[in-house]
Amino acid sequence: MNLKRFVVIALLLAVVTASFAGSLVINANTGDPEPKRVIKMLVEKFEGENPDIDVTLNIFSHEDFKTLLRTWLGAKEGPDVVTWNAGERMRYFAEKGLIAPITDVFAGSSFDNYFPKSFEGNCSYDGQVYMVPESWYWWGVYYKKSMFDAYGVTPPTTWEEFKDVCQLFADEGIVPITIGTKYLWTAAAWFDLLNMRVHGLDWYLGVLDGDVPYNDPKIKETMTYWQQLVDNEYFLFEHSSLSWQEALNRQITDDAAMYLMGQFIKDSTPEEMREDMDFFRFPIINEEVGLYEETPIDGWMMPANGLHKEEAVKWLQFIASEEVQTIIATELGRLAANKNVPAPDAHAQKGLDMILASDGVLNFFDRDTNPDMANKAMNGMVQFMDYPEMVDEILDNLEQERQRIFE
């Protein structure tokens, strides 16, 4: 065989091989250093187990991902799998037909053979599952043990104790509570937890479902507790110009004492500081109300416009497995969605124990209410933190938005 003929045959073989080789396009919102490291590790493992699938991994920051996702899902062709959040955020896309049900992922099995039955409602729409949950986490008030020890502070359990701790740090010239609201959603954690601590979860679900006016007396009562902290200048002054990671820097440098944040805070904490980070449950306000917590669920969806459904199903089965979820939990300190995976360390076990001892859980404000309402309300929350005297006007404006969106 002459060289020219050999080259031609080789090129033809390459074309034929490529035409049969599978492809998979993954778009992930794992832009923080640790999640980025872990998703790359998982892709390498998947490629090793599926050498016939050519994987393209695209990684984006959380905020860029939120903006781009609707564009991808509405395009003629989209990625094959994407990361996203359970609850209303997922259902919004399922209702519009922009993501596909993932029945084939559980062929010969069922969702609750992998995951807690309680997760299914948050991962389903109209009787079909649309999301493979990967992990979940808790929210708490994070602090540095060394700082609390240095000032003789014991983690507070009640609202009055919490305010006393805030005042102690304020007197020492330390910002009691850091927060970055440049991207709005961090403020929503305060709205969620204050409402649940003052009035309970069942009533608050009516707020999220659009059944309760935003200028309802109960919401106004909730805002009085938030205003106690704002009026005493316990929050970081420049919060509205900072991302949550930038606000974390104030805690890293000991310029701020506490941060209401999800467990993922440790992803952006310097490695040498992680063992020093601890958390306590959001303080009790009304002792007659049960203890309800934030437990967002993160996972994977299959866009309806993806071109490689078979490969997408293989990836989702891979993600759902006990082996892979053990890797994710161990590497990131998360609580795995797969019910057969134990808490990976003492910190995660503490979070799990807190949730198991709670009376109920919520995903998160902007994951459990209408997206348009969430955006309007979170803007109002940040405005309130800057101009607390406008609380009535802000709530009246939000009530007009609720009527426009829900009624």
% of the chain with per-residue pLDDT over 90: 85
For the cut 70, the answer to whether the pLDDT of residue 34 exceeds it is: yes
For 56-97, the pLDDT digits (tens) are 999 999 889 989 999 999 999 999 999 999 988 899 999 999
Residue 354's CB is within 10 A of a number of other CB atoms, namely 18
192 located within any domain = yes
- Residues 334, 239, single domain; the answer is no
* Domain extent at residue 33: 3-134+298-353
Report the C-alpha gap between 61 and 76 in whole angstroms. Answer: 23
- Residues 30, 79, single domain; the answer is yes
183 located within any domain = yes
> Chain-wide mean pLDDT for the chain?
92
- Residues 304, 397, single domain; the answer is no
Q: How far is CA 295 from the centre of its chain?
A: 8
- Residues 223, 115, single domain; the answer is no
For 368-377, the pLDDT digits (tens) are 999 999 999 9
- Residues 117, 154, single domain; the answer is no
| DSSP assignment letter at 306 | B
Report the C-alpha gap between 358 and 290 in whole angstroms. Answer: 8
Reported as a pLDDT band with limits 50, 70 and 90, residue 5 is very low
> CA distances (Å), 254 to each of 58, 168, 239, 343, in order?
35, 14, 16, 29
Over residues 397-406, the mean pLDDT reads: 97
What is the model's pLDDT at position 112?
86
Under 8 Å between Cβ of 265 and 277: yes
Report the C-alpha gap between 349 and 347 in whole angstroms. Answer: 5
> CA distances (Å), 108 to each of 111, 169, 225, 309, 329, in order?
10, 57, 51, 18, 26
What is the model's pLDDT at position 3?
39
287 located within any domain = yes
Coil/strand/helix, residue 232: coil
What is the model's pLDDT at position 7?
35
- Residues 378, 273, single domain; the answer is yes
Q: Give how many domains the chain has, as a whole number.
A: 2
- Residues 245, 114, single domain; the answer is no
Q: For residue 406, what are the contacts with CB-CB under 8 A and spacing of at least 6?
A: 210, 211, 370, 373
- Residues 244, 389, single domain; the answer is yes
Under 8 Å between Cβ of 198 and 289: yes
359 located within any domain = no
What is the model's pLDDT at position 18?
37
Over residues 8-17, the mean pLDDT reads: 33
Under 8 Å between Cβ of 47 and 39: no
b or e along 152-163 (b: 16 or more beta carbons within 10 Å of the residue's beta carbon)?
Answer: ebebbeebeebb
Under 8 Å between Cβ of 179 and 239: yes
Q: What is the CATH number of the domain that holds 332?
A: 3.40.190.10
Q: Within a 13 Å sphere around the CA of 10, how many CA atoms are in the beta-carbon half?
A: 7
Reported as a pLDDT band with limits 50, 70 and 90, residue 138 is very high
Over residues 14-25, the mean pLDDT reads: 56
Residue 76's CB is within 10 A of a number of other CB atoms, namely 5
Reported as a pLDDT band with limits 50, 70 and 90, residue 16 is very low
82 located within any domain = yes
- Residues 118, 38, single domain; the answer is yes
Largest CA distance in the chain: 88
Coil/strand/helix, residue 130: coil
345 located within any domain = yes
Angle at 300 between CA 360 and CA 82, to 5 degrees: 135
- Residues 169, 214, single domain; the answer is yes
What is the model's pLDDT at position 21?
54
324 located within any domain = yes
- Residues 280, 309, single domain; the answer is no
97 located within any domain = yes
Residue with tokens 């939990």: 329
- Residues 201, 310, single domain; the answer is no
